[in-house]
Amino acid sequence: MYSAFEKQSQEKKELIMNIAIEEFTLNGYDTTSTDTITSRAGISKGILFHYFKSKKNLYLYLVNFCIDLLTEKTVTAIHALKSADFFERVKEIYLLKHEITGKFTKETQLIADAIMSPPVAVQKEMQQIIADYYDTYAKEFKFEHVYLKELIQIDKLRDDITVEQVIEMTMFISEQLGNKYQTLYKNNQYDFFKEPDPVVKELNDYLKIIKYGIYKEC
């Protein structure tokens, strides 16, 4: 569908995408003007629509691009982690995600807005994008790359605690914490990009509670 755009030079593609992402994150989908995008990018409106056919397609292309970009950066960084402690690894993964979003603020903003407050024009498509993402990065992926059971000190576990329970508990708390701050962000009560510390501290506090609650007393 986007073959005409993909044939362009990398420099030209990056220019158009960076400007479009900036406009969508700054103004929102409905009030973003393709005239402004084309004027800033130095191309005609006819060329933009030749590449994407519509404003809707441009937006969806950018959302998919940003998801793929941040996912690739995150997975690569996760594979480079060397922590031998289960809970330290979970915390390190959270921190590296924050580091990556800090480097790609506009891309992260676009994804966050598209997922939490999808424009009416693309709601159906966003539901499918989200479903496809979670199909790919569901529990199996997290068990293989994030919550590594081999890092749990099994010999030190309390007799009434299993490895599976530790993983499920940690995953549940991490996800609920993420949901909490997403809701606050959506309601304009919290800005993760400006105030990451509260999330980091709360996650660290919960991980300490789990860690020192599952192991036998020395």
Q: State pLDDT tens for residues 51-71.
A: 999 999 999 999 999 999 999
Task: Say what the pLDDT of residue 193 is.
Answer: 66
Is 44 within a domain?
A: no
Task: Say what the pLDDT of residue 15 is.
Answer: 97
Q: What is the mean pLDDT of the chain?
A: 89
Task: Say what the pLDDT of residue 179 is.
Answer: 82
Q: How confident is the model at residue 16 (pLDDT cuts 50, 70, 90)?
A: very high
Is 40 within a domain?
A: no
Cβ atoms of 65 and 149 closer than 8 Å: no
Is 77 within a domain?
A: no
142: domain range? 84-214
The 10 Å CB-count burial string (b at 16+, else e) for 1-26 is eeeebeeeeeeebebbbebbbbbbbe
Q: What is the pTM of this model?
A: 0.85
Is 14 within a domain?
A: no
Q: Work out the burial of residue 184: count CB atoms within 10 Å of its CB; fewer than 13 is exposed, 13-18 middle, 19 or more buried.
A: middle
Is 64 within a domain?
A: no
* Count of structural domains, the chain: 1
CA-to-CA separations, 30 to 1, 71, 79, 154, in angstroms, rounded: 23, 27, 39, 53
Is 56 within a domain?
A: no
Q: State pLDDT tens for residues 155-212.
A: 989 989 999 999 999 989 988 888 887 787 777 777 766 666 677 788 889 998 888 8
Is 55 within a domain?
A: no
In this structure, how many other beta carbons lie within 10 angstroms of the beta carbon of residue 168?
A: 13
Token output for 200: 């980091």
Could you write out the DSSP letters of every residue in 122-147?
GHHHHHHHHHHHHHHSSHHHHHHHTS
Is 2 within a domain?
A: no
Task: Say what the pLDDT of residue 212 is.
Answer: 86
